[in-house]
Structure 1
Amino acid sequence: MRNHPRPHDLLFLRLPDRFDTGGDWPAWLDAAWLTQAPLVVRREAAPGSLLPVGARGLTRSERCKGYVQRDAVVRCVTPEMLARLHPPTVHTVHSVQAGECQSDLPPLRALAAMAPRLKELGLVWGPTGGAGFYLASGLPVLRADSDLDLLLRAPAPLPAWLIDCLLRLQEQQDCRVDIQVDTGAGGFALNEYARGGRVLLKTAHGPVLAADPWHAPEVQREAA
């Protein structure tokens, strides 16, 4: 596992009971679920060997924040690893439940359509959200109305022509596509940046409004 997992990485646990919510687990969550469902790394500063993570269930309402010790993690799957799957397939030892194959749903169709073009552009990117979770675990969390969430690593400002290309690529899909840009110091929505003005930059120390998300003086760069 990378020494410093980054936001949106998916962590599989060897010790599921080490997921700490600061209280009782919600009714939908148990150790059996966490033996097959990864935790999602959150963008938050945490002390020592603690990792800020979130659990998700099968429905949108099933979300739970918490923390886990690094030594409880057995495997880390990054968005970039999932982007290398061509065509998108379930990259895991876990199997999708019988009758719940989701490969024809709009988010995965959009991912298959966009992946070759994103590769041609030389971008460092990967699926997150429900699509990333499904590809890493095989668990049927996607719905016909699910968005496709993508993460784009961009340590330097994106040229205008590339932003235009990405926006056009988004518009050509038959589901909503949300591209989050990660500068290394925080993350922001590409659509919001394209509209002009200040953007909401999500950082490990809280949200910041920034006119230039790559050069916000009050933001500390996160560990790579």
Structure 2
Amino acid sequence: MASVNFAPPAPHDLVWLDDPASALEGAALPAWVSLPALHDTPVVVRRDGRRPGEIPVGLRGRSRAERFGTWIAPSAMRKLVTPMELAAQRAWRLRPDLAALPAIRALEAIAGRLGAAGIRWGVTGSAGFSLACAQNVLHADSDLDLVVTADQPLAAGHLELLGELQRNAPVRVDIQIATPYGGFSLLERLRSGGRVLLKTDHGPCLCDDPWQPSPCKS
């Protein structure tokens, strides 16, 4: 097994398995899962705190219907790539085969503005997955999924910029805000003016302030 020590992975991080068959032993894998393919393609870290000490991950196939959630041991990780690393490396510029796709064109158009504003952001979803490995799951109608890490409430200027980019991008942009307590949809926050559904390791909860979510409302 891998002996590399990694920082605890966060939701949306991409993880390559050292030995997929061993890492997923005992999981009731659906028929579309290819263990040999998992040597070259990552699993995606998700939110689920039901197994302390294990990492909740999701396996994805080529269609939206092909999704499977399970857990792995930390020792099963061979490599880890974060959404922020994909953004910092401008990973889409290394993939000319994807350059014509609308989601990738949108990334190129907005990356500079996000960086100039000092926003901590990364690429997730189909775009992040496709940029991180050779398996392309993007198509012409794919959304662009982004995550913004915010340990403190976002400044008004950052909210304004993110909202503008979300409204005016040439494709549908889904921006998730990651707080120390969980993640929520920027669009929902802008529409409601406050209350959001916060996705936590222990399930979703309604809260008025996602940076001070207690008590949560079911």
TM-score with structure 1 setting the length:
0.88
Which runs of at least 4 in structure 1 moved beyond 6 Å after TM superposition?
A: none
Alignment of 1:1-224 (within 5 A): 1-20=5-24, 23-86=27-90, 88-90=92-94, 101-195=97-191, 196-218=193-215
Report the Cα distance in structure 2 between the residues aligned to 1:35 and 1:63, rounded to whole angstroms: 18
- Structure 1, unmatched stretches of 5+, are 220-224
1:116 is matched by which residue type in structure 2?
G
TM-score with structure 2 setting the length:
0.90
The answer to whether the 8 Å contact 1:21/1:65 transfers is: no
The answer to whether the 8 Å contact 1:19/1:66 transfers is: no
Report the Cα distance in structure 2 between the residues aligned to 1:187 and 1:21, rounded to whole angstroms: 30
Report the Cα distance in structure 1 between the residues aligned to 2:94 and 2:14, rounded to whole angstroms: 14
Percent identity of equivalent pairs: 44
1:117 is matched by which residue type in structure 2?
R
Structure 1 residue 185 displacement after superposition: 1.0
2:120 is matched by which residue type in structure 1?
V
Structure 1 residue 46 displacement after superposition: 4.4
Q: After the TM superposition, which of the residue ranges 20-29 and 33-42 deviates more from structure 2?
A: 20-29
2:164 is matched by which residue type in structure 1?
R
Deviations, residues 173-196 of structure 1 (Å, cap 9, x unaligned): 111000000011100000100112
1:194 is matched by which residue type in structure 2?
L
Q: 1:21 to 1:64 in 2, by over 3 A?
A: farther
Structure 1 residue 116 displacement after superposition: 0.5
The answer to whether the 8 Å contact 1:10/1:76 transfers is: yes
Deviations, residues 83-130 of structure 1 (Å, cap 9, x unaligned): 112362458xxxx9xxxx322111111111111000001011100000
The answer to whether the 8 Å contact 1:21/1:67 transfers is: no
Report the Cα distance in structure 2 between the residues aligned to 1:30 and 1:90, rounded to whole angstroms: 26
Structure 1 residue 37 displacement after superposition: 1.3
Q: 1:18 to 1:46 in 2, by over 3 A?
A: farther
The answer to whether the 8 Å contact 1:10/1:40 transfers is: yes
RMSD: 1.9
2:122 is matched by which residue type in structure 1?
G
Report the Cα distance in structure 2 between the residues aligned to 1:159 and 1:125, rounded to whole angstroms: 15
